[in-house]
Amino acid sequence: MTSSFAPNSTATVELKPSYNIPIVLVIGGIPLILVQPWIGFAFMVFGLFLMFQALTLRLQFTATDLDIHRGEKLIRHFPYQEWQNWRIFWNRVPILFYFREIKSIHFLPILFDPITLKTCLEERCPHT
The stretches in the chain having pLDDT less than 70 are 1-9, 127-128
Q: Report pLDDT for 9.
A: 62
pLDDT at 128: 54
Asked, for residue 21, whether it belongs to a domain, the answer is yes
The mean predicted confidence, pLDDT, of the chain is 90
86 in a domain, yes or no? yes
Q: What is the pLDDT of residue 7?
A: 46
Q: What is the largest CA-CA distance in the chain?
A: 52
**What is the C-alpha to C-alpha distance for residues 29 and 6, in angstroms, rounded to an integer?**
44
pTM (2 decimals)? 0.83
Residue 4: the pLDDT is 42
Task: Count up the domains in the chain and report the number.
Answer: 1
> Does residue 22 fall inside a structural domain?
yes
1 located within any domain: no
